[in-house]
Amino acid sequence: MKTAILIIVVLLTLQSCSRKSDSTPLVDYVNPLIGTAPACTLNALSHGKGSENNAQVVPYVTTPFAMTNWTPQTRATETKCIAPYYYNDSIINGFRGSHWLSGSCVQDYGSMSIMPVSGDLICSTEKRGSGFSHQKETSTPYNYTVYLDDYNIKTEMTATKRCGMLRFTFENAGSAHIILNPNSDEGQGFTAIINEQNEIVGYNPVHRIYQGWGEAAGFSGYFVARFNRDFDSFGVFQGEDIMERDTAIRNVQDLGGYATFLVQSGESIEVQIGTSFTSIEQARKNLDAELANRNFEHVEAELKATWEKVLNKVQVEGGSTTDKTKFYTALYHSLLHPRTFNDADGTYLSFSGGKQVLNSGDKDYYVDFSMWDTYRASHPLFNLLMPEANANMMWSLLDKAKNGDWLPIFPCWNSYTSAMIGDHVITTLADASIKNIIDISDEEYQYLIKNAFETPANFEDYKNGKGRRALSSYLKYGYVPLEDGVRESFHKNEQVSRTLEYAFDDFALSRIALKRNDTQNAEELLQRALNYKNVYSKADTCVRGRFADGSFTPDFDKLKRMSYITEGTPWQYTWYVPHDINGLKELMGGEKDFAEQLDRFHVSGQYWHGNEPGHQIPFLYNYCGQPWKTQALVSEIMLNEYDAGVGGLSGNDDAGQMSAWYVFAALGFYPVSPSVPEYVISGPHFDRISIQLNNTNLIIEAPGASSGKNYIQNAKLDGKIYTKNYLNHFDLLKGGKLEFEMGSTPNKDWGTAQKDRPYSLSRE
């Protein structure tokens, strides 16, 4: 055991020493508390409201893409849009094995909680909480520690991919109790005491609450908690009713079990918790596979080494400690989802109801794809930094199609949902395919075509999330008319936004069709990719709701939220044509008018960084000969919309998309149009960046970038003058050196040539 810990420490030391000027482990720049308080960024104060004014992240102790994440719990519910932990809360009532979609407004599911108390036994989650102080709280990706003031208990957490490990140190001698419960809001679940094995086990059935109807998902979150010493007493409870020596309880509100110990002052009790989505027995197997014969320090050191290895894929130099904290915390947040669903031996329940027990072999099967968000930057980031992991994610999506007979749109809870608009699983698969991360078979390709051209014949299948919403209207009119209320969807109406997003998805699918020489479908899809024009009103220089007869709705204000727009205003969504900016320019009257409209949009304060549909907008000046404005805007957003404080994220992080945007922006380029292997250049924000790409390194040098020189003067790629304002994905994979000469004032000549503009479907 000591040898293993020594090896991990040596690895951490070597990784730290590989950086020239800073020996701080990269993982120690990560602050998981960033984003756990209401956003205090500039944009959030003017645009955010309700849950959108909070990043909705929690201080996870976890591995990248883990099955279960471990967090302190200040809210015991699994209610939609309520995260397990909020920084401004003052009471901790448990420590949760969580499946909360980080940064989201869905709900936790299949979760369980554990809570230590001393003195009198108090089991109810409403009564057992303890005050705590942030001065006695430490949060890192590999350890969370807090002192529970009411009980004088020090609590520490660390984790593996499927398991958690907690250590409770009791200052008070005498009776100590550790309570476990499934977090079911439906009065469901099960807990049992297995005294002879020092175990408390249980499960919490999963419901698809965000879908809107709350149906059972067909599986549960299972747990096995194993203690490192014998119980002096035990029992189960329902709320405040305690049943000492009883060994099982099920399907009542606020149920759980507890173990009691007589402890000396300063004594610690360790609890190892295995989790699974398959069964209690599989949770026990996961515990044995990942935690058997291991102590807290060893697990913690290994988790720290895991994060250090991943974060070392991008090494930055220059800038302040705050700059590095913002960057590496963003990278950490980017790597939390999707979620591993299979057990350590590969076992997992099939998609959409779990009727079959399958095995993933030597790869992981993933769930919880927040596709409306993460196709934009998160998955492109994985394609660049972690292509093998993203290939397994794409395999998981295609596996869902084979099991459910339809490619999912927004797969959460290992289920179909119509939770958000668009069909961006197609775009995500297209980006991976075009970048040669995956090969799509003939059979798999048919599932993509099916989504784009067919609607389920069975209404219940459609209602439950199979197929594109309002596809028949979209195909008939070339847009979704206002008469189609899209009732069988969690997000109803939003017809203009659906039209725009389907047009982009059609474009992305056309890229796969062209790669496969399927010219017939490619031509039709490319024509459909121009459907965005059908909801554009030239008189308003803006998108606008349209009826089936072709007339535009009188209900229109480009500056206000409209029912036919998703989570935004018509003007904000007007710029959502990432595949055909040149075509949008033509609609606006040409390049000059386009640039002027873009200026007016930003001057009016319409840009809202706290929600995803506009994330590409700051980069659009590169398409109209004014890339220095992109460089200035991105720098401003990085400064004003991200902070190293607890309120430092400008809206829901949405499974890491908000953070992935920052990572790309700091590197100096962004994937405006996923499925096109290009990145639009905005300029790096560190003096030197080293990116590990498979078996080579890409070095980006930009002296002065970290000290306010944010304008590109000139650039070189491998010693040759580089004038394009975008980068090719395959050129980056070759490694080498990208050099930027940075300055404090714009160079209005660099990157402005029309022949050197980023890709657009319509050619100038």
Q: What would the pLDDT profile of 451-480 be if each residue is shown by its tens digit?
A: 999 999 999 999 989 999 999 999 999 999
| Residue 50 pLDDT greater than 70, yes or no | no
pLDDT at 5: 42
pLDDT at 1: 45
| Count of CA atoms in the C-beta half-sphere (13 A) of 71 | 26
Query: In sequence order, which residues have a C-beta less than 8 Å from that of residue 23 and are 6 or more positions away?
Result: 16, 17
Q: What would the pLDDT profile of 107-152 be if each residue is shown by its tens digit?
A: 999 999 999 999 999 999 999 999 999 999 999 999 999 999 999 9
| Residue 303 pLDDT greater than 80, yes or no | yes
Q: To the nearest whole percent, how much of the chain has pLDDT over 90?
A: 91
Query: In sequence order, which residues have a C-beta less than 8 Å from that of residue 10 and are 6 or more positions away?
Result: none
**Domain-ending residue, one of 422, 450, 468:** 468
Q: Cis bond leading into 338, ω under 30°?
A: yes
262 and 408 fall within a common domain: no
Average pLDDT, the chain: 95
Cα dihedral sign, 281-282-283-288: positive
- Say if 301 falls within a structural domain: yes
| 255-263/153-159 β-pairing | unpaired
Which residue range(s) make up the domain with 197?
A: 2-30+61-312
Determine the average pLDDT of the residues in 377-384.
98
373 and 325 fall within a common domain: no
**Domain-ending residue, one of 416, 438, 468:** 468
- C-alpha separations of 116 from 175, 198, 755 in Å: 11, 16, 65
115 and 67 fall within a common domain: yes
Candidates 101, 126, 105, 104; CA nearest to 115 is: 126
Determine the average pLDDT of the residues in 101-107.
94
Q: What would the pLDDT profile of 663-685 be if each residue is shown by its tens digit?
A: 999 999 999 999 999 999 999 99
Is residue 3 very low, low, confident or very high in pLDDT (cuts 50, 70, 90)? Answer: very low
Candidates 454, 348, 445, 359; CA nearest to 401 is: 445
CATH of the domain at 399: 1.20.1050.60
pLDDT at 17: 38
| Residue 6 pLDDT greater than 60, yes or no | no
CA-only gyration radius of the chain, Å: 26
294 and 338 fall within a common domain: no
Residue type present at position 277:
F
Contact 594, 634 (CB under 8 A): no
Q: How far apart are CA 233 and CA 110, in angstroms?
A: 27
Task: Domain count for the chain, please give it.
Answer: 4
Q: What would the pLDDT profile of 589-599 be if each residue is shown by its tens digit?
A: 999 999 999 99
pLDDT at 419: 87
- Say if 590 falls within a structural domain: no
- Say if 639 falls within a structural domain: yes
DSSP per residue over 498-521, as a string? Answer: HHHHHHHHHHHHHHHHHHTT-HHH
pLDDT at 51: 65
399 and 257 fall within a common domain: no
159 and 225 fall within a common domain: yes
Indicate the helix (H) or strand (E) that contains 670: strand 669-670
Determine the average pLDDT of the residues in 404-430.
96
Q: What would the pLDDT profile of 524-535 be if each residue is shown by its tens digit?
A: 999 999 999 999
Determine the average pLDDT of the residues in 636-662.
96
**Domain-ending residue, one of 527, 549, 574:** 574
- Say if 584 falls within a structural domain: no
Residue type present at position 572:
Q
515 and 619 fall within a common domain: no
CATH of the domain at 506: 1.20.1610.10
237 and 250 fall within a common domain: yes
| Residue 212 pLDDT greater than 70, yes or no | no
| Residue 613 pLDDT greater than 50, yes or no | yes
| Residue 7 pLDDT greater than 70, yes or no | no
- Say if 130 falls within a structural domain: yes
Return the DSSP state at 38.
B
pLDDT at 24: 92
637 and 725 fall within a common domain: yes
- Say if 54 falls within a structural domain: no
204 and 186 fall within a common domain: yes
Q: How far apart are CA 367 and CA 755, in angstroms?
A: 42
557 and 682 fall within a common domain: no
Helices (H), 237-354: 280-291, 296-311, 321-334
Return the DSSP state at 339.
E
Structural tokens at position 683: 């300029």
SS3 track for 51-103: HHHECCCCCCECCCCCCCEEEEECCCCCCCCCCCCCCCCCEECEEEEECCCCC
Determine the average pLDDT of the residues in 610-631.
97
Return the DSSP state at 23.
-
| Long-range CB pairs of 530-533, under 8 A, 24+ apart, other chains included | 530/503, 530/580, 530/583, 530/761, 531/474, 531/478, 531/479, 531/499, 531/502, 531/503, 531/506, 532/499, 532/500, 532/503, 532/504, 532/576, 532/577, 532/580, 532/583, 532/584, 533/583, 533/587
Structural tokens at position 371: 């596709």
Return the DSSP state at 264.
-
DSSP per residue over 270-285, as a string? Answer: EEEEEEESS-HHHHHH
Q: How far apart are CA 258 and CA 123, in angstroms?
A: 8
Is residue 639 very low, low, confident or very high in pLDDT (cuts 50, 70, 90)? Answer: very high
Q: What would the pLDDT profile of 60-74 be if each residue is shown by its tens digit?
A: 999 999 999 999 999
pLDDT at 22: 63
Q: How far apart are CA 306 and CA 15, in angstroms?
A: 11
Burial of 741 (0-12, 13-18, 19+ CB in 10 A): middle
Contact 227, 170 (CB under 8 A): no
26 and 136 fall within a common domain: yes
- Say if 597 falls within a structural domain: no
- Say if 581 falls within a structural domain: no
Q: How far apart are CA 194 and CA 304, in angstroms?
A: 32
Residue type present at position 732:
L
CATH of the domain at 655: 3.30.2080.10
pLDDT at 348: 98
